[in-house]
Structures are given as structure tokens and as C-alpha cells.
Amino acid sequence: MLAKRIVPCLDIKNGRTVKGVNFVDLRDAGDPVELAKKYAETGADELVFLDISATEERRRTLVNLVRDVAAQVNIPFTVGGGISSVEDVDILLQNGADKVSINSSAVKRPELVNELAQKFGSQCVVVAIDAKQIDGDWVVHLVGGKVPTDLNLFDWAKEVEQRGAGEILFTSMNNDGTKDGFANEALARLSEELNIPIIASGGAGNVQHFIDTFKYGKSDAALAASVFHFQEIEIPDLKQELKKEGIPVRV
């Protein structure tokens, strides 16, 4: 069985790492370069960098900051935010990104997934999906969770897999920042219906939540932010607990 991955996430706004609850009420969480260095040194399997206001502000990702972070890490590094073309991805890969995460731009122009997979390979293309459960239906949202669409989470995930996405990063807007656990029912369904890895995001509050998403959510990776940024959970301790539960991790 493949090792399960622990993935800290750096949500970036105005050059700083921030963290909110249900996508609002952002607070400062520190310097992204320092945090990235710490996570790489303490056992994170991958790192995700999301320029969360790039799409809303209609600009490209902060390339200089991507380069500075990349210089400090020796683990796979995924970058997202404001990516809308092959050229954008080219620039990010040249500046140290290993993978890119696309979200709103994929919904607006689904062919982008095909283009990126053909040019850079599926292993480079992560499609991030922010969805909110409304009256029992998981509705895909855009622009940092501000704009609802008529897309269903599961239908959209299947489509992007067919178009060449290599991974799905699913964030439950209902769970985000609540520290009440991941949306394991939806995650398990995604894992059953798709053949590509699923990264769980939204809701990590304690070690048990990670255990549960790997056991019951069938997640391939678990992404979290505030519990790592504010030292509520240390990655080496988390991995030891996962190992005790029989969950395969790299230690």
C-alpha cells in the first residue's frame, strides 16, 4: 500500500500566510518561507502554496515568493492561485514548483485541464475543488468559495479525471477551519468513484481526524493549515500516531 501523505498548506494573501474559518475571517499565520522550511525539515511529505486572492484580484501567482519557498524545500511543492494558461504553469515550474493546482480557471475553461496534462503530464496537474453541502448536494464554488456554480462535486471530479487531472484536492467549505474533522463521507465516495489520488482538505483539528480520513475517508493525503501553523500538532508526532494505527506513512 502506498504511504499516506501529510501536506501542510500555505494560504497566501499579501505575501503572508493566513488562515480563516469557512473561507472567511482570515488571520495572520506567519512568514511562508520560514514555515515552508520548517515543514520540509520536520517530515511533511509535500507542501501546497495557494495564492488565495490571485483569482479574485485577476492577477498571476506571486512568482518571487514561489521561488523563495522552493529554495527552502526538498519535497514536492504544489502551487495554485490565478493560474489560467500553459504559460502561467511554465513560469511556475521554472521557478521551483513541481505541480500546479487549478480551480476556478478549470471550471471556466475545462479544456485547460487537457492542455496542461498534455504539455506537462497528469502528475503535474492537481484540480482543486471547493464544494459546499447545500440541502444534501455538494455544490462546487469558485473564487475562493465566493461564487456558487451549478456543478456537482462528484460529476465535476469525474470530468477532470477524464480530462487528465492527476489528483483531486477536495476542500469541504462546511468543514474548513472548524477543526471538527474532514468530510469523510464525501471523500470516501470520491475515492470509490475515481482512480486518481484524493487529497482531503478542510476540518483537521486533532490527530484522530487524520486517522479517520485515512481509514474511513479513504483519502490518499491529508492537507491541513492552522493545526500545523499554530503548533497544535507537530508532524513527527502525528506520523508516529498514524503508524501506531497501522496507517502507512514515511517517517
Q: Which residues are catalytic?
A: 11, 130
Could you tell me what percentage of the chain is helix, strand and coil, using 3-state DSSP and rounding each to the nearest 5? Answer: 35, 30, 35
For the beta carbon of residue 250, count every other beta carbon within 10 angstroms. 11
Q: Residue 31 has which C-alpha cell?
A: 512568514
Per the CB < 8 A criterion, the answer to whether 45 and 221 are in contact is: yes
Among 22, 1, 5, 24, residue whose Cα is nearest residue 179: 22
Cβ contacts of 155-160, under 8 Å, gap ≥ 24: 156/107, 156/129, 157/127, 157/129, 157/190, 157/193, 157/194, 158/193, 158/194, 159/110, 160/106, 160/110, 160/113, 160/127
Amino acid at 69: V
In DSSP notation, 206-247 reads SHHHHHHHHHTS--SEEEESHHHHTTSS-HHHHHHHHHHTT-
Helix (H) or strand (E) holding 86, with range, is: helix 86-94
The DSSP 8-state label assigned to residue 201 in this structure reads E
